[in-house]
Structure 1
Amino acid sequence: MQQHQNPLFISHGSPMMAVENSNTSRFLQRLGQQLPTPKAIVVFSAHLDVTDDVVITAGARPETIHDFYGFPDELYQIRYPAPGAPVLAKQIADTFMSAGIKVNLSITQGWDHGVWIPLKLMHPQANIPIVQISINTRVSAAQNYRYGQLIASLKHDNILIIGSGGISHNLSEVFRQPKTPNGVDMMNQFTKWVEEKLVNNDTESLLSYIQLAPFAQFNHPTQEHFLPLIAILGASEASVAKKIHQDVEYELLALDAYSFT
């Protein structure tokens, strides 16, 4: 009998998480030790946001991408040499294409930092095969939800499905001077609304979060860090969401994590 894997949403935070000892880095290390070892991991990351065909990684040995700027040199020296899973990638691509969604099976796309930073903490041995699937901020939340639905059955086959983004992600506000006076309260109201909708399985409201959630545009001026959560909602098949971690960095970047059981 195959092991079941609960889909996860993880807020991956600043790239410094890869080298700093923080509440969230320690949480991710513990999480990797506590979960049953999957035979493969499928990731929706905020940092593979494409306009046209869905990109699915299909290389056998993808490179580590350092897709960030202005950080210490030690970050750019890190490699996460986890293997790809070309056969699984082709299986996923076939499922997408059967649903009428065009796919680009990419043998050159590497692991962006939304993939390798949390996984380096969870699985430092880098020995679990990975497939990454793009999100698309130019289409509806419902379409990104559909991406997750299409691979939902994989969780019953000992494959861990992860959304890697951020419950709140207003980087410009983090560096703005002076800051918005009630910014922290705006972040808290938004994250509490998200938690309420998740634990009450209110998918309809979450798919309309831009219109319904308090201060949605403040917390997500662009949507790429929230859509991995929407994709994981699709993969969860109406499972119950449980918050498994809560933290905030730089006062405004909420690092909540959820498991869908």
Structure 2
Amino acid sequence: MTSQRPLFISHGSPMMAVENSTTSRFLQHLGRTITTPKAIVVFSAHFDVSHDVVITAGQHPATVHDFYRFPDKLYQIRYPAPGEPLLAKHIAALFEQANIKVMLDTQQGWDHGVWIPLRLMYPQANIPIVQISINTRLGAAQNYRYGQLLASLKHDNILIIGSGGISHNLAEVFKRTKTVNGVDMMNQFRYWVEDKLVNNDIESLLNYQQLAPHAQFNHPTQEHFLPLMSVLGASGNTQAQKIHQDVEYELLALDAYSFN
């Protein structure tokens, strides 16, 4: 059986869905170059819950347009990729065996952290998806644990993706008067993350809020960083390889990683 390398993808602005950019082209190319998976499991920054773990279990989840004040054409997009209820039940059992409560949700649709990158990678929308919630209230170590429970799936041709952002300070992006050294602060953080990933320094990554330079500036809230922790756990502690580097609006690092 084919094994899949888990991926972390920075999904950026929703405009990526309709704009020709360095990162949109990268995602299109990525989908053409990796072995087609039989299913995809996604941890998205935009599926953050405050209770237990929620797993999508619908057969035909809707496309969720969970963003505001964007051009009308974005709200017309549909990504009709099917769900995979049997895989969802299998994943739920893995969590339950670890004494973690789960809820199977047949109504939850694909948020834009799922459908925007996957629409670029797999425009035919014919690969089944299961989405697993993150929990910003529990922090890096527990979200890493979520990923660890799924490490075996990659050996069954299931692609595990974390969809978030290496940096994500939208308030700073839209400030009229920017922080003077903001770009440098973003770069210090992103290169710290790269160093820890490629050197497999998991302990430092799990304590990034205390150890990384300008962690609070780059992630005022954790939701865009925690999918990286989940996919790191799912990798089985294997070495990361940086497969893409880009920056949007000067401050949003859109780097992507593959895990051997």
Please classify the TM superposition score into its range, dividing by the shorter chain length.
over 0.9
**1:224-260: CA deviation from partner (whole Å, max 9, x where unpaired):** 0000000011001111100000000100000000000
Equivalence for 2:15? 16
How far does residue 140 in structure 1 lie from its aligned partner after superposition?
2.5
What are the equivalent positions in structure 2 for 1:195-214 lying under 5 Å apart?
195-214=194-213
Equivalence for 2:151? 152
**1:116-164: CA deviation from partner (whole Å, max 9, x where unpaired):** 0000000000000000000000002110000000001000000000000
**1:22-61: CA deviation from partner (whole Å, max 9, x where unpaired):** 0000000000000000000000000000000101000000
Equivalence for 2:222? 223
**How far apart are the structure 1 equivalents of 2:201 and 2:29?**
29
Equivalence for 1:31? 30
SS of 1:259's equivalent in the other structure is strand
SS of 2:59's equivalent in the other structure is coil
SS of 1:5's equivalent in the other structure is coil
Q: What is the TM-score with the length of structure 1 in the denominator?
A: 0.99
**How far apart are the structure 2 equivalents of 1:156 and 1:144?**
21
**How far apart are the structure 1 equivalents of 2:97 and 2:3?**
25
**How far apart are the structure 2 equivalents of 1:178 and 1:112?**
31
Q: What is the TM-score with the length of structure 2 in the denominator?
A: 1.00
CA RMSD, aligned part only? 0.4
4+ residue segments displaced more than 2 Å: none
**How far apart are the structure 1 equivalents of 2:84 and 2:52?**
20
SS of 2:9's equivalent in the other structure is strand
How far does residue 107 in structure 1 lie from its aligned partner after superposition?
0.1
How many pairs were matched up?
260
Q: Does 1:235 align with 2:230?
A: no
Equivalence for 2:4? 5
Equivalence for 1:117? 116
Give the AA of the match of 1:43.
V
What are the equivalent positions in structure 2 for 1:95-106 lying under 5 Å apart?
95-106=94-105
User: 2:139·2:226 contact (CA, 8 Å) conserved in 1?
Assistant: no
**1:49-92: CA deviation from partner (whole Å, max 9, x where unpaired):** 00001010000000000000000000000000000000000000
- Unaligned 5+ runs, structure 1: none
How far does residue 222 in structure 1 lie from its aligned partner after superposition?
0.3
**How far apart are the structure 2 equivalents of 1:238 and 1:181?**
37
- Unaligned 5+ runs, structure 2: none
